[in-house]
Amino acid sequence: MKQYSLAIHGGAGAISRKKMTEEKSCAYRAALSDALAEAENILLRGGTALEAVEKAVMNMEDSPLFNAGKGAVYTHEGKHEMDAAIMCGKTLDAGAVSLISTIRNPIVLAKTILERSEHIFLAGEGAMEFAKQENIAFEDAAWFNTEFRFNSLQKAKMKQKIELDHNEREDKYGTVGAVALDQYGNLAAATSTGGMTNKRFGRIGDSPLIGIGTYANNKTCAISCTGKGEDFIRAMVAYDISCLMEYKGFSLEAASRFVVQSKLPVKSGGLIAVDSKGNIVMPFNSEGMYRASVSNSKAKEVFIFQP
């Protein structure tokens, strides 16, 4: 059997070991396992890396546990504004969306842009008009309502600050993502996020930005980031790792470690990445990062805190 590798994340941040109950930990682990298994199944059946990362992200978007899709946090105005991006390492084609609402799976819209639009990045009302033309699934705004997230908004408003919260104060940087190498040697990356609780002003983070929160290139690696978007933009995280591999000959492991440890401020977040040989890394400099990985040569692993 040829090499395949797959990694997913469900956000990084100040996930407190103390506050993490056994019940909550089990729920997250089960959700990660489920998303991983569905995507692995695609790779096992001969599907592409692009299909696998889309499926993993869709699965997590449909879970209320993660800050993406159904579980997206509330903006200041009480809406859900979501961003997503996907990239194919073989063709360098990409699709990205920002500031969309009521679309059930933003990652499906991003993949449709990759496949069917001459553009790469669509945003706001225009992106939703494109989604309608392409028969992308919408949901009522009420579908995205979760009591838990609504309470987070009220708390954030009381504190009069913008929270990058995903899980109260326990998971500051909620995002989901997936990276994969398929049996054909192709890489792909996908990321989806609901942004920041109480955010205003149409803020766009790193998730939908090609080369920052999401990047794939068969020459080097596929990457999906999660964390404080502005830190990731300043450091050009995903493409920087790719360039350290391509131009300085760094391994994926050395390049990722260097960028996370030396170019990002402490507690910014983390990333998952896979290279063209199937190596997987999942470094982060926050307290925790929901993550899981599997390959044809290594059994499934699911982690929340530092190993």
User: What does the binding site for its own copies look like in residue numbers (CB under 8 A)?
Assistant: 92-94, 98-99, 117-127, 129-130, 162, 200-205, 209-212, 229-230, 233-236, 239-240, 243-244, 247-248
Strands (DSSP E) contained in 62-108 are 82-88, 94-100
Q: Comparing C-alpha atoms, which of 201, 237, 191 is closest to residue 97?
A: 191
Quote the tokens at residue 204.
């766009």
Quote the CA–CA distance of 85 and 39 in Å, as a whole number: 17
Q: Comparing C-alpha atoms, which of 193, 30, 195, 180 is closest to residue 105?
A: 193
Q: Which residues pair with 215 in a beta bridge?
A: 223
Q: How far is the CB of 103 from its own copies (least distance, A)?
A: 13
Q: Which is nearer to its own copies, 56 or 245 (CB)?
A: 245
Q: Which is nearer to its own copies, 65 or 204 (CB)?
A: 204
Q: Which is nearer to its own copies, 175 or 293 (CB)?
A: 175
Q: Which is nearer to its own copies, 103 or 210 (CB)?
A: 210
DSSP code for 156: H
CA dihedral 182, 263, 282, 290 (to 10 degrees): -120
CA dihedral 46, 252, 195, 9 (to 10 degrees): 50
| 175 catalytic per annotation | yes
Q: How far is the CB of 230 from its own copies (least distance, A)?
A: 5
Q: How far is the CB of 22 from its own copies (least distance, A)?
A: 36
Q: How far is the CB of 248 from its own copies (least distance, A)?
A: 5
Q: Which of 48, 75, 112, 175 is catalytic?
A: 175
Q: Which is nearer to its own copies, 237 or 292 (CB)?
A: 237
Q: Which is nearer to its own copies, 88 or 179 (CB)?
A: 88
DSSP string, 208-270: TSBTTTEEE-TTSEEEEEEE-HHHHHHHTHHHHHHHHHHHH---HHHHHHHIIIIISPTT-EE
Pairing of strands 121-123, 221-227: unpaired
Q: How far is the CB of 223 from its own copies (least distance, A)?
A: 13
H or E stretch at 178: strand 176-181
Q: How far is the CB of 242 from its own copies (least distance, A)?
A: 8
DSSP reduced 3-state for 128: helix
Q: Comparing C-alpha atoms, which of 228, 297, 239, 238 is closest to residue 268?
A: 228
**Active-site residue set:** 175
